[in-house]
Amino acid sequence: MSPEISPDIIVFFQNRFVPLRDARVGILTHALNYGTGVFEGIRGYWEEEQEELFLVRPREHYLRWKTNCALLHIHVPAVSELCDLTVELVAQNRFRSNIYVRPLAYKSAQRIGVHPDERADFAIVAIPFGDYLDSRSGLHAGVSSWRRIEDNAIPARAKICGAYVNSALAADEARRNGFDEAILLTESGHVAEGSASNLFLVRQGKLITPPVIDNILEGITRACVMELARRELHMKVVERHVPRSELYACDEMFFTGTAVEVAPIVRVDHRPVGTGEIGPVTNLLRRVYLEA
């Protein structure tokens, strides 16, 4: 997990660079009461040899954020401007470690009443960041009793703050039940994704992942891994419905996400995945992804 966050780090808040300790919102803020915010998560990797910090696909992340903000009628600056702001933010903090960048746009009016008005604000916070889940020896995942939210209720694709209650319930239940992470099914019983990650199965040499219509977030790491599997490993990659029982029949399984990277799953619902060891395809994709 991330270490203690210093209140001295510089964040971009209400159009200014200020210390984190001064970036505060009021208790009646619309987004705090009703979940009307949209966030993103971007990783930066510190390269010791080059003494440089590299942001991973910031344009793709900001394009997704801008599109998702528009869904809630929140306007944010152009993608290029957001990338420049982030570079400036990182430079001001002089980070010399891996980081995680959290852009957050939110309905900012301070009043009671669920219908939102036009008032909105955004912030960008960057913090030093280590492993999100310690997955080196493989994770034990459990199918959640909570179902993935439907696109027609709160679009899962949109990274809307309020929607993450669904993820929080599933992640909390998983940990209380002794699992490392949850796997959520859709209302119709198809496998969707993890609480904050996409899911891949390896079966008979093919890479399989649930389709976007199964209420998943269109993960940027998911897209990278599909591309790398096709291009570097010459694997067939299939997006299709995954029935729950296939979780117990596959050879390998892993989560992908900005925070989790490529995280192997070696047990699911108290059953070994394949041999119960981290599989060769997972190992290879993890390596190729981190190298890329």
Q: Which of 36, 86, 197, 282 binds ligand PMP (CB under 6 A)?
A: 197
Q: Which of 219, 242, 266, 273 binds ligand PMP (CB under 6 A)?
A: 219
Judged by CB, which is closer to ligand PMP: 92, or 98? 98
Judged by CB, which is closer to ligand PMP: 193, or 252? 193
Q: Which of 29, 86, 198, 209 binds ligand PMP (CB under 6 A)?
A: 198
The CA-to-CA distance between both ends of the chain, in Å, stands at: 23
Smallest separation, CB 163 to ligand PMP (Å): 8
| Residue 252 engages ligand PMP in binding (rule: CB under 6 A) | no
Positive or negative, the CA dihedral 160, 112, 117, 82 is negative
| Residue 258 engages ligand PMP in binding (rule: CB under 6 A) | yes
Structure tokens at 218: 């269109």
Judged by CB, which is closer to ligand PMP: 10, or 125? 125
CA–CA dist 90, 256 (Å, integer)? 25
CA–CA dist 242, 248 (Å, integer)? 11
Query: Do 145 and 173 meet the contact criterion of CB atoms below 8 Å apart?
Result: yes
* C-alpha count within 13 angstroms, C-beta hemisphere, residue 44: 28
Helix (H) or strand (E) holding 34: helix 30-34
**Backbone Cα Rg of the chain:** 19
Smallest separation, CB 160 to ligand PMP (Å): 11
Positive or negative, the CA dihedral 197, 86, 21, 32 is negative
Smallest separation, CB 177 to ligand PMP (Å): 19
Bridge partners of residue 103, in order along the sequence: 124
Smallest separation, CB 222 to ligand PMP (Å): 6
| Catalytic entry in 66, 107, 159, 206 | 159
107 catalytic? Reply is: no
CA–CA dist 71, 197 (Å, integer)? 22
Judged by CB, which is closer to ligand PMP: 9, or 149? 149
Name the segment binding ligand PMP (CB under 6 A); options: 6-14, 77-85, 170-178, 250-258. 250-258
| Residue 128 engages ligand PMP in binding (rule: CB under 6 A) | no
| Residue 37 engages ligand PMP in binding (rule: CB under 6 A) | no
Structure tokens at 184: 């959520």
Place of tokens 């496998």: 191
Smallest separation, CB 231 to ligand PMP (Å): 18
Which residues ranging from 156 to 175 are in contact with ligand PMP (CB under 6 A)?
167
| Amino acid found at 124 | I
Q: Which residues bind to ligand PMP, rule: CB under 6 A? A: 41, 167, 193, 196-198, 217, 219-222, 256-258
Active-site residue numbers? 159
